[in-house]
Every structure is written in C-alpha cells, then in structure tokens.
C-alpha cells in the first residue's frame, strides 16, 4: 500500500483548489501573458530573492537582478554564491522532474555548491530548530531520513490525491523530515513549485515565494502548528491560500498592464521588473529609443497616467534623482 502522510481533506481546501484551477485556466488563456519570457525572468528574480531572503540572504531584489544580468555587485560572498547557485537551478526549472528523488539530490547539490560540504547528500547528523537554547523542534533521526524520503516520493508518485494538495503535503513533510544539513527551506519551496508546474506550466512563472516572504511569520507558525497537531492541515490551507493570492495578484497585474495599452507601453512594462527603480535613461535603453521627448510622450507619460509605474519622488517630477517603479 502506498504511504500516505497524515492530513484530512477539508471543504476549505477543496474550495481553494477549485478557485485556483479556475483562475489558472483564465490566466493561461489571457492574451496578456503572451510575453512569457519576460514573465519567467520576473518570476525568477522575485522567487530567488524572496526564497533566499527568508533564509537571511542580505542581497536586494535589484542586486539579484544584476547578478542574473551578469553584472558585478558588492555584497557578502556567501550571499552572492547563494544567488548564483539558485539561478542555475531556476534557469532549468521546467526540466526538473519533481517525482524523481535523484533530481532532488541533483538540485540540492547545485543549490548548495561550495556552501556546505555535503551538498547533494542527505544529512548524517541530527538537526533541530532552536529559540536561543530552547529546542522548538527536533527533526527525525538522520538514520531514517532515506526511508522517510522514499515514503514521501512513493506518495507523490502513486497517491491519487489532487496534485495541488499533494504539493502542499510534500512541502510540509519535506520541512518536517529536514533531509539536508542546510538548504531545506529553499528546496521545499522550489520542489512545490515544480510539482505545481506538472499540473500547469504557468505555475513555474508565478512567484509564490514572494507571498510566503510577506507572510513569513505565519508560514513558520503553521509549520509549528502542524508539528503539534501531527498532521499538515494547517500548512495545506495556508499554502493553498498563498497560491490563490499569487494568482489573483498576477491576474490583476496582467489585466492592469496590458488591457487597452499601446504597443509602446506594453513594450516598456514588459522589460521592467516590479519593485525595482529605473532612471529615465535606463528605461530608454531598455526599449531602444534615443529621443527623450519621444520616450516621454509615447512611453513614460502613458504609463504614469495609467498608474502602471510610479515616480519615487512624486512631488518633484523633474528631479535628477527621479526613478520609476512598476507597481
């Protein structure tokens, strides 16, 4: 009999799954998502930045973007290495088989290369979560990690449960088992996304990690609560809500950005990454235009009027320090 982790399907879970699949269908068919290469890049930046920020990586979203663009940045070498390693994994996110434990070990080896000595291997020591000197949670003994991981992959490969729910169960069980000496959080979030992408490729373009970062305190709280309850219900409901919120935001942004907009405006916002400030010259370079007057009339002003981008110094529109952010 296939191993099944402890959880109970609730009406709230089923309702959220239904809403998610309805919205993902609408988003997949939306003409505003014809620009998937840029959407993929934006998601990659947001996903890598958010997932590593949860793990106390100090680099900004703009620095993550610069590393992806091949630029040199100044920052802690460990943090830069974490980003570079994550980029290598996220570049091939659609090639990862989340049903294959060998792919998990391979991704962990790349993700943690030079950061830990046992990258790509299950831990040999004991792991726990501490609050000062107080033990909050002790992971299962290292000697049974291979068995627990085999059971977990048996579940995701053979159980007939809805894949959205299975992805949440996998994420929680992965964090509970804590199979690696480090990098468990980023790997659990990555592989949930990979599992979701098997349901619909569009999930690979959605920065679910961004919502988790915003709700980081609640994220850890529902993990702890699920530990206490001995089942993953609380975590499943949290993650389904996070996925739903991510899709709703993406759908809203897509509609706001692309509906009834000119080709020039669509081109500009296609290249901009949300939350990162750009100078006018940087934006002109992005769209390949040299005339400042033409850029202002055909690109910048329509975006400002539509509320798609905003000024960082709104009370001084002509400031030499003015920057523009896609909202």
Contacts of 154 (CB under 8 A, 6+ apart): 2, 3
Q: How much is the pTM?
A: 0.78
Q: Are strands 324-326 and 134-138 parallel, antiparallel or unpaired?
A: unpaired
Of 92, 70, 81, 75, the C-alpha closest to 114 is 81
The domain that contains 190 carries what CATH number?
1.10.3290.10
Q: Please tell me the least confidently modeled range out of 68-82, 140-154, 196-210, 222-236.
A: 196-210
Q: Are strands 128-131 and 134-138 parallel, antiparallel or unpaired?
A: antiparallel
Would residue 5 count as lying in a domain? no
Average pLDDT in the chain:
89
Residue 89 pLDDT greater than 80, yes or no: yes
Beta bridge partners of 309: 326
Domain that holds residue 109: 11-257
Would residue 38 count as lying in a domain? yes
Would residue 80 count as lying in a domain? yes
Residue 30 pLDDT greater than 80, yes or no: no
Tokens of 21: 């699949």
pLDDT at 58: 95
The domain that contains 295 carries what CATH number?
1.10.10
pLDDT at 34: 46
Domain check: are 244 and 266 in the same one?
Answer: no
Q: How many domains does the chain have?
A: 2
- Domain boundary among the residues 223, 240, 257 is at 257
Given a contact cutoff of 8 angstroms between Cβ atoms, the answer to whether 169 and 232 are in contact is: yes
Domain check: are 170 and 301 in the same one?
Answer: no
pLDDT at 264: 86
């Amino acid at each position: 009999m296939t191993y099944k982790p402890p959880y109970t399907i609730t009406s709230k879970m089923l309702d959220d799954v239904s809403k998610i699949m309805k919205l993902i269908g609408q988003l997949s068919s939306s003409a505003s998502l014809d620009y998937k290469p840029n959407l993929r890049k934006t998601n990659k930046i947001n996903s890598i930045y958010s997932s590593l920020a949860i793990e106390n990586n100090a680099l900004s979203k703009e620095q993550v973007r610069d590393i992806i663009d091949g630029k040199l940045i100044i920052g802690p070498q460990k943090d830069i290495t974490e980003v570079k390693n994550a980029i290598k994994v996220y570049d091939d996110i659609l090639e990862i088989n989340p049903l294959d434990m060998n792919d998990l070990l391979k991704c962990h080896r790349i993700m943690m290369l030079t950061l830990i000595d046992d990258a790509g291997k299950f831990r040999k020591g004991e792991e726990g979560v501490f609050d000062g000197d107080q033990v909050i949670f002790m992971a299962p003994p290292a000697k049974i990690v291979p068995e627990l991981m085999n059971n977990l992959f048996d579940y995701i490969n053979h159980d007939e449960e809805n894949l959205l729910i299975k992805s949440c169960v996998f994420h929680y069980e992965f964090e509970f088992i804590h199979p690696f000496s480090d990098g468990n959080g980023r790997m659990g979030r990555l592989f949930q996304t990979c599992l979701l992408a098997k349901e619909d490729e569009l999930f690979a373009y959605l920065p679910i990690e961004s919502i988790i970062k915003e709700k980081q305190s609640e994220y850890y709280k529902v993990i702890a609560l699920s530990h206490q309850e001995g089942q993953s219900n609380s975590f499943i409901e949290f993650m389904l809500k996070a996925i739903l919120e991510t899709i709703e935001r993406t759908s809203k942004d897509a509609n706001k950005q692309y509906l009834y907009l000119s080709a020039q405006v669509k081109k500009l916002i296609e290249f901009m990454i949300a939350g990162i400030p750009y100078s006018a010259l940087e934006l002109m370079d992005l769209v390949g235009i040299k005339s400042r007057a033409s850029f202002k009339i055909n690109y910048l002003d329509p975006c400002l009027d539509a509320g798609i981008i905003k000024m960082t110094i709104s009370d001084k529109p002509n400031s030499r320090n003015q920057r523009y952010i896609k909202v």
